[in-house]
Chain A
Amino acid sequence: MAKYSYAPYRFAVEGNRALLSSDCGDLVAISLREFDALIETPEALSLHTIQDLLAHNILTCNEHLDDHLAALAARYRTKKAHLLRESSLHMVVPTNVCNCRCRYCQVAGSSDSDNAEFMTRGTADRIVKIINDFPGTVKKIEFQGGEPLLHFEMVRYLTEELRASATSNNPCTFEFVLCTNLQALDHEHLAFLKRHEVSISTSLDGPRDLHNALRPTKDGGCGYDRFKERLEIAREALGYNRVAALMTVARHSLSRVEEIADTYRDLGFHSICFRKLNRYGRAYRFYGQLGYSDEAYVECYIRGLKRILTINREGYPMVEEFTAMIARRLLTPYGDCHLDMLSPAGGGIAGALYNFDGRVYISDEGRMVGEEGDDKYCLGNVRVDSYTDIFLSEKTRAFAAAGTLECRPGCCDCVFLPFCGLETVERRIDEYGFLNDPPASVERSSCWKYRLFLNVVRLLDDPQTRPILEQWAFV
């Protein structure tokens, strides 16, 4: 009887080596000669390689098969922690009104005063109930817009109501994040945010000219200067680490990504995220002017990351959040609740978006599609539907099934599958209609996520870079 068996694994040949990943999220690289031996006769491998493959759950020792399978199962559950929903993300939109006219904004009402809508207390009460009915003990509440500061009364009300709802019978920890462009921020807002430990997530698209071009204000003022001024006030009031920013990569940003990274450093940020422009909802109309190919995004992202790593080597600590998430997934056994990168997709399982009018969407992207009049990603309305109606429905379940990479052509045998995920409203699903099975058209070489994963794997091979990524992963 053979001494070893294969555990389920996936592989990719990259250059002169093979990358192997186990189902439960171990990644190991071996030479092509070793890979051939692994396929032919694992026993012929060196003891060192066998031990490495056993440790990474590519091989199992037949003598201890049951123990090994139990360990694999435990690891698998850890990696898929989001399915247990101990923590969740609830995005709440108090209003669709905004004081900016961001060129890539997906929210129709934000630039049209005729469509101005504000959440009522009745709707907010129902949202509080639904969020409390949602299982789990750690719930992150993200106020989004429009610009939530323009309906701050509702931010205040929801924060206080949710805080008050956490009792000994409902031992829930709420974390609050206000997503704001800072333009309307004042001391009164800050006093409240400080009292309730609300963090700020803001948007900075780069140097003054680029930021102002992409995020013009409605009153014609210099958004960048006002942003800078309010940023300092916010940091003074809340503390440096309570104010983070992220950027959206538009076509105009592609050639200036290094400058953008430098701007973040110059303004004292210690993190950045090169977020890909999506083409949902209203943004779809402008994609011709602002969009770019996946290839261009990957090239820009890698350049931006290179700049961030240089900044770190120069002594200024700065994290690129998407790379940090990839590194965390590659280097640790843990899963996370990054709603845009889960399998099954996290919308409806690990979070949802509650619109000002009570409609609940599978994700922010789902709301964007809804803004265009297509409510296929709407799960229900808190005004009339219960938690069960919204989150245990066949529709929610079908979305989860459609967003499972393990059964997705092109993804199911990808070496990075155990670390990857997708947002619920993937463009491919949109293109092929509601809940239709996606076709087998995901080509590995053109998958931007695959290329970013591979980039991180290569960076981890570099002894100068690995410690930086390890620091990002283990923070």
Chain B
Amino acid sequence: MNTEGTGQTFNGSGDENATSLARSRSFRLAMSAYSGEAILATSAQFASAMVVRVTEVACNYEVVVELIRGGSSLDRVIAEFLKELTMQQVRLDVERRFGITRDRLVDAAFESRDNG
């Protein structure tokens, strides 16, 4: 499965029925869209649900996920993983763009307090 425009490429078995029952899958995430930090932060949040292995392949991250427990839908867990990954990436982007503004505002509050 190749999802254009999302920066994600999936490698399943090719058989939809087999895929829905699978316990592991690999997919690629474009390095231009996602940072390693966002992937690790997301992986940590899913640590109790699945094992996540990440390697670098050309301009992509190769992510291999394996469910720890049965009973969960791999499709659903991966969908949740990708949703959380987007949130983590946006969080990091916002931090990069506006973190300095926040820090200066907080500094202002504590500087004036020091003077008080």
Q: Which residues of B contact A392 (CB under 8 A)?
A: 110, 113-114
A401 to B116 Cα, complex, angstroms:
20
In the complex, the chain A residue whose C-beta lies closest to that of B100 is: A407
Q: In the complex the two chains form, is B98's CB within 8 Å of A83's CB? A: no
Interface size class of A (residues with CB under 8 A): 20 to 34
| Chain A: minimal CB distance from B18 (Å) | 33
Mask, A377-406, CB within 8 Å of B = 1, is 000000000000001100001001100101
| Chain A: minimal CB distance from B35 (Å) | 14
| Chain A: minimal CB distance from B17 (Å) | 33
Cβ of B3 under 8 Å from chain A: no
Q: In the complex the two chains form, is B116's CB within 8 Å of A85's CB? A: yes
Cβ of B15 under 8 Å from chain A: no
Cβ of A441 under 8 Å from chain B: yes
Q: Which residues of B contact A344 (CB under 8 A)?
A: 102, 105-106, 109
A407 to B98 Cα, complex, angstroms:
5
Interface residues of B in 44-100 (CB under 8 A from A): 84, 86-88, 90-91, 94-95, 97-99
Q: Which residues of A contact B110 (CB under 8 A)?
A: 392, 397, 400
- Among B87, B109, B114, the residue within 8 A (CB) of A409 is B87
A437 to B101 Cα, complex, angstroms:
16
Q: In the complex the two chains form, is A440's CB within 8 Å of B94's CB? A: yes
Cβ of B115 under 8 Å from chain A: yes
Q: Which residues of B contact A69 (CB under 8 A)?
A: none
Q: Which residues of B contact A439 (CB under 8 A)?
A: 84, 87-88, 90-91
Q: In the complex the two chains form, is A83's CB within 8 Å of B87's CB? A: no
| Chain B: minimal CB distance from A442 (Å) | 10
Cβ of A412 under 8 Å from chain B: yes
A84 to B108 Cα, complex, angstroms:
8
A400 to B113 Cα, complex, angstroms:
13
Q: In the complex the two chains form, is A85's CB within 8 Å of B112's CB? A: yes
A299 to B22 Cα, complex, angstroms:
45
Count A-B contacts at CB 8 Å.
72
Q: Which residues of A contact B113 (CB under 8 A)?
A: 85, 135, 349, 391-392
Q: Which residues of A contact B4 (CB under 8 A)?
A: none
| Chain A: minimal CB distance from B71 (Å) | 25
Q: In the complex the two chains form, is A85's CB within 8 Å of B109's CB? A: yes
Q: In the complex the two chains form, is A404's CB within 8 Å of B102's CB? A: yes
Interface size class of B (residues with CB under 8 A): 20 to 34
Q: In the complex the two chains form, is B94's CB within 8 Å of A412's CB? A: yes
Q: In the complex the two chains form, is B116's CB within 8 Å of A134's CB? A: yes
| Chain A: minimal CB distance from B55 (Å) | 26
Cβ of A207 under 8 Å from chain B: no
Q: Which residues of B contact A391 (CB under 8 A)?
A: 113
A85 to B112 Cα, complex, angstroms:
8
Q: Which residues of B contact A251 (CB under 8 A)?
A: none
Q: Which residues of A contact B84 (CB under 8 A)?
A: 439
Q: In the complex the two chains form, is A406's CB within 8 Å of B91's CB? A: no
| Chain B: minimal CB distance from A207 (Å) | 43
Cβ of A408 under 8 Å from chain B: yes
- Among A80, A134, A409, A412, the residue within 8 A (CB) of B105 is A80
Given A83-B112, A135-B116: A440 and B106 interface contact (C-beta under 8 Å): no
Can you name 29 A-B residue pairings with CB atoms under 8 Å? A83-B105, A83-B108, A84-B112, A85-B112, A85-B113, A134-B116, A135-B116, A344-B102, A392-B113, A401-B106, A404-B105, A404-B106, A406-B101, A406-B102, A406-B105, A407-B98, A409-B90, A409-B91, A409-B94, A412-B94, A412-B98, A437-B91, A437-B95, A438-B91, A439-B84, A439-B87, A439-B88, A440-B87, A441-B87
Interface residues of A in 310-366 (CB under 8 A from B): 343-344, 349
Cβ of A136 under 8 Å from chain B: yes
Q: Which residues of B contact A441 (CB under 8 A)?
A: 87
In the complex, the chain B residue whose C-beta lies closest to that of A135 is: B116
Q: In the complex the two chains form, is A401's CB within 8 Å of B90's CB? A: no
Q: Which residues of B contact A85 (CB under 8 A)?
A: 109, 112-113, 116
